[in-house]
Each structure stands twice: as structure tokens, then as C-alpha cells.
Amino acid sequence: MLAAIAMTALSLAHVAKASSRPQTGGTLRVQMTERVATIDPRQWPADSMNAVAAQRVESLIFDRLVRLDEHGNVQPSLAISWQHDAQAKTWQFRLRDGVKFTDGSSLTPTVAALALQQLLGLTVEVSATPDSVVILTEHSLPDLPMKLATGRYFIFHSADHNSLTGTGPFRVEDWFATSASSKATLAANLSCWAGRPFVDKIELAMGVDFQQQANAISFGQADIVELPASQVRRAAQRGVLTASSDPVELFALVFDTSRPQMQDARLRQAISLGIDRASIADVILQRQAIVSGSLLPNWISGYAHLFSAAADLPRARDLLAASAQAHFRSMPLVLIYDSSDAEARAVADRVAVNLRELGIMVQVSGKNVDGKTNPPAADFSLVREHIAAPDTAMSLSEILHSLGESPAGMETPEQIYAAERSPIDSFHVIPLVHVSESYGLSPQVRDWMPPRWGGWRLEEVWLGPSTTNGGSAQ
């Protein structure tokens, strides 16, 4: 009798699930601008935008010991628990049992320790116990789990030196790379410890420019494409479903104060006061950005209101009049931007227009990331930094390091604020805007639920029947 009830329930209970349920199957076609050269966490890009791309692709193949949930809190992944000593110098991560790499080998503490040792470097000592990975650090690392939940800290297995496998939701089925583009086919890892992904395959095209991506999504040749901020509204008008993250990319000016003409803080302050950030956010970036006077967006820090981003032309002119430097009226300052980034070009041009209105001559010059062009020496640069993690201290630390600053202790909110304040108050860095990350989605894409700090969760995406095009999603 009981068995009969059980069998009846089994046959009927599937309907107890609510809403539209995910379906398995299909091939997800994804395009991206950046080109990930290799699937190897050991060869991590230095540039923050390239690193973000690498992180997205590699997170499909590999898992980390821990992961971030949508609240930005660290949660178990390959490690099911962790503890540390009083000084937060010795950390023990207990591994999940029964996890296998896609080559069939088992995840063991030894394998995980070997992978992490290569990624964490020689300043830490990583060892294995029968059920755990132990990390010993010279200095206190209270944020180690947060660090291990982001960036390059994937657990991989190296059967031979060139071939890495992971435990993630997909495995590499095919990888084709040229100097200009890369294509990859990723197949679902059906025995993934966290459950098989919903789609059977991902066809990933890398190094595809924005225009090609826009065409692909419009003509039904892709399911997920990247959209530059300036294209989001246009794409939506064409009927493409668009989705944007919270603002996660910072555009900022960074001064080379070793240049004689940039040593006068009054000139740098005048430049800060002379830029119309609102026009950059609203016109150039089509309202897919927010004006910012801080390095971190408010949704991460909560205190961005303490930084002013307002233009003040009269004050800027007063400062220029008092500046010891006057050559900028005759000899242009050189502003460098990444020539591969069309949005950066537009923002740099706008900055130059603003400064010319102040009487500051500016020469805008693109810098090719591959070093093929030789731009003039820069007086200041337009940089684009991606938020590394949904964590105030870690994000700020990464940005400051990337900008050449050396932040001191950042343990209390007051210290974090002071660390952010310092380069801004000294006008070494001028934040301009924070930009959202945007995507175009085909009508078949369901459950596109990336974290609010951007990125993918393609293992959660499934393909449904086409629905009416158009609109936007957050």
C-alpha cells in the first residue's frame, strides 16, 4: 500500500513545482568581444577587462573552493566548510567528497592543493590532509575565502602540462583560436556534482566586435551577445531583449604626476571640476552609466554620496588662473585611451571637449594594447576598471592597485573610506562614471540571472520557445 502511494506520488509530484520550469537541451550561442587566449588559470590576464572575460569562460569549466551567492556572501562549493586560526594565517578547507573532474579523475585534497599552490604563489604554503586543503600564509588573511571565491582561483587537474580539466558544469569539446578570434564548443558535464546544466552545449565565439554581435542577435544567429552602453537603447528599439547589471565598470582619469606639467594639483583639480560627467553618462553612454565622484559605485559602498561629482566651471577657471602651469594653453596635454575600446574613445573625446572649453588644450591619442602603435607620452590616461568582487574592501583594493596606489589597512569603514578618499582628494585619480554591463538576449533565453555585479551564470540558463521580442530585464 505504502509503495503504491509512493509510486503514485512520484508520478504526480512533478507538477508540484511552480512557475515555468527549466527545460534541458539545446545549444546556447554566446558571443563576446574579448578573446580568451587559453583556458588556464595559471596564465591570468593582467588587464582587468581581459581578466573578467577569462573569469567568465573559465568559470564554466572549473569550480573554486568557495563561491559567491547573489548577496555577495561566500558559500561552499568544492569546499563544504572552512575554519581558520586566531590570526587568520592558517586556513583549512574541507573538501566535498565524490567530486570528479571531467576526465574522470577524482578531486582530492592533493590535486586541489597543487592547483592552488600554483595560483597563490610561493608567498603561501598550500598542503593537503586526508580531507582538506590547508593554506598557511605569512600575514593575516581574514578575507581569504572572499579572495578564493573570485578571480583566478579555480581548482584544476592537469593530466599533462597543457591539458587542464575542471569539475565545472561544462567541458571543452572543441577550441579553435586564431590571432583575431577564438571559437569554443563546450559540452554539458552531465555528471557535474552541482547538477547538469540545462543546455547541452555552448557555442562560444570570442573576439567578435560589437557591430557583428548586434547583427547576430538581430538576425537570430546568437542567443547572448554583449552590448556596448551606447547600443543598448537602440537594440531594445530593434526588439532585442536587453539586460543590464548594476554599474560595474569605472571610467576614470589617472594622472602621471611625474610629468612636470601635471605636478600642479590646481591644474588637476581644475580638470576635475571642468568635466561634465552628466553628458558622458547620459549622452555618450546613453544613460547606461551613472555619474560618479567615487571609485566604488554606491551600490557596493553605500557612501558614494560623500564624493562630489559636480562640475564647477567658475571655480575651475579660478584654479587655472592661479596655476603655476600655463603651457597647457599652447601645448596640448596628452590624454591616452585604449584604442580597442570605442566607448573609451568617445569618453576621451568628450573630456577633451570639456577641457578645451576651459582653455586647456588636449590631444587625445589611442594606445594599442598590443603595443603596435607608439603614442606620445601620456600626461593623463583614461582607464576602465571592472569591479572585482561585490565587496567594498576587496574591490577598492583591486582598483587602487591597478591605478598604482598602495592602500594601507582597510579593516574599518572609516579606513576604507579614507583609502578611497586619498587619491581623489589629491587629484591623482578623477572618477568619471560607472557603467553597467549589458547584454542582448534572444527570445529563447530563459532564466538569465547573472549576479548584479555582472558576469554569466550560463549553467542556469535554459532555452524555451520564442516569445515576443523587446523589453529589458535586470
Partner 1 sequence: MLDTLCANPRHEFPALPKRCAMIFRSPGNRENWFIIFRGAWRCTSMTSPCRMKYSIPILLFIFVCAGIPGRSAATTLEDSAREFAQKIAAALASKENVSYEIRNVSSLQPSEVTRMELAFKAELKDRGVALASGAGPVTIVVTLSENFKNLVWTGEIHLGNAPLVIFLEVNRPSENHAVIASMPVSIHSEKFWEGPERILDAGEITDGTGKSWLVLLLPGGTRILDRQTGVTTATEIISNQNASRDPWGNLNFGKSGNEFGLFLSPHFCSINLETRNLSGCLPGDGSAGNSPASHFLGMIDVAPAGAPVAGKGTEIVMGAPVCGGANQFLATGARDYTQPDSLQLFDLKSGIAAPASAELNFPGPITALHAASETPRAVVKNLSTGNYEAHRLSFTCSQ
Q: Where does this chain touch partner 1 (CB under 8 A) — which range of 115-123, 223-231, 285-293, 390-398?
A: 390-398
Q: Tell the smallest beta-carbon distance from residue 165 to partner 1 (Å).
A: 19
Are the C-beta atoms of 369 and 47 separated by less than 8 Å?
Answer: yes
459 touching partner 1, by CB under 8 A: yes
Instruction: Figure out which of the listed residues 90, 215, 279, 298 binds partner 1, where binding follows CB under 8 A.
Output: 298
Binds partner 1 (CB under 8 A): choice among 301, 354, 397, 438: 301
Q: Of the ranges 38-46, 157-165, 270-278, 457-465, which one interacts with partner 1 (CB under 8 A)?
A: 457-465
Q: How far is residue 50's CA from residue 371's CA, in Å, rounded to a whole number?
A: 16
Q: What does the block give as the cell for 205?
A: 565565439
Residues with Cβ within 8 Å of 16's Cβ and at least 6 positions away in sequence, in order, are none
User: C-alpha angle 112/395/303, rounded to 5°?
Assistant: 145
Task: Using the minimum distance from each CB to partner 1, give the nearer residue, 328 or 417.
Answer: 417
Write out the binding residues for partner 1, residues 303-322 only, by CB under 8 A: 303-306
Q: Smallest gap, in angstroms, from Cβ of residue 346 to partner 1?
A: 29
Look at residues 241, 201, 157 and name the one whose alpha carbon lies nearest to residue 30.
Answer: 201
- Residue 102, class by beta-carbon neighbours within 10 Å (0-12 exposed, 13-18 middle, 19+ buried)? buried
5 vs 180 by CB, closer to partner 1: 5
Residue 317's identity, in one-letter code, is R
Per CB under 8 A, contacts with partner 1 among 265-294 are none
CB of 391 to partner 1, least distance (A): 9
Residue 13 or 159 with smaller CB distance to partner 1: 13
Give the one residue of 55, 392, 436, 442 binding partner 1; rule: CB under 8 A: 392
444 binds partner 1, rule: CB under 8 A:
no
- 47-86 positions binding partner 1, by CB under 8 A: 66, 69-76, 79-86
Indicate whether 170 belongs to the interface with partner 1 (CB under 8 A): no
β-strand partners of 95: 79
Site for partner 1 in 180-199 (CB under 8 A): 192-198
Q: Which of 419, 424, 404 is nearest to 309 (CA)?
A: 424
Of residues 240 through 259, those in contact with partner 1 by CB under 8 A are: 246
Written in H, E and C, the secondary structure of 274-293 is HCCHHHHHHHHCCCCEEECC
Closer residue to partner 1, CB minimum distance, 17 or 161:
17
| DSSP annotation of 161 | T
Of residues 395 through 434, those in contact with partner 1 by CB under 8 A are 411-414, 417
Pick the closest to residue 356 from 379, 328, 381 (CA basis).
328
The least distance separating partner 1 from the CB of residue 57, rounded to whole angstroms, comes to 20
Show Cβ contacts of residue 326 under 8 Å, excluding neighbours closer than 6 positions: none
SS3 assignment, position 159:
strand
| Residue among 307 and 328 whose Cβ is closer to partner 1 | 307
Helix (H) or strand (E) holding 422: helix 413-425
Name the residue nearer to partner 1 (CB basis): 368 or 412: 412
Can you tell me which of 3, 122, 324, 408 binds partner 1, judged by CB under 8 A?
Answer: 3
Nearest CA-CA partner of 181 in 155, 207, 144 = 207
Q: Applying CB under 8 A, does 473 fall inside the site for partner 1? A: yes
442 burial (CB, 10 Å; 0-12 / 13-18 / 19+) is buried
> Phi/psi of residue 362, each to 5°?
-135, 130
Q: Would you say 269 or 365 has its CB closer to partner 1?
A: 269
Residues 6+ apart with CB under 8 A from 133: 65, 79, 92, 93, 95, 109, 112, 113, 116, 126, 127
Q: Does 324 bind partner 1 (CB under 8 A)?
A: no
Question: x/- contact string, 7-26, with partner 1 (CB under 8 A)?
Answer: xxxx-xxxxxxxxxxx----
Candidates 112-120, 158-166, 203-211, 297-305: pick the segment binding partner 1 (CB under 8 A): 297-305
Answer for which of 25, 103, 106, 142 binds partner 1 (CB under 8 A) is 142
Please report how close the Cβ of residue 62 comes to partner 1 at its closest, in angstroms.
Answer: 17
Q: Does 98 bind partner 1 (CB under 8 A)?
A: yes
Side-chain-side CA neighbours of residue 149 (13 Å): 21
Nearest to 249 by CA among 369, 380, 370, 399: 399
Decide whether 294 or 365 has the Cβ nearer to partner 1.
Answer: 294
Q: Does 174 participate in binding partner 1 (rule CB under 8 A)? A: no
Would you count residue 145 as binding partner 1 (CB under 8 A)?
yes
Between 350 and 434, CB nearer to partner 1: 434
Query: What's the min distance (Å) between Cβ of 303 and partner 1?
Result: 5
Phi and psi at residue 441, to the nearest 5°:
-120, 145
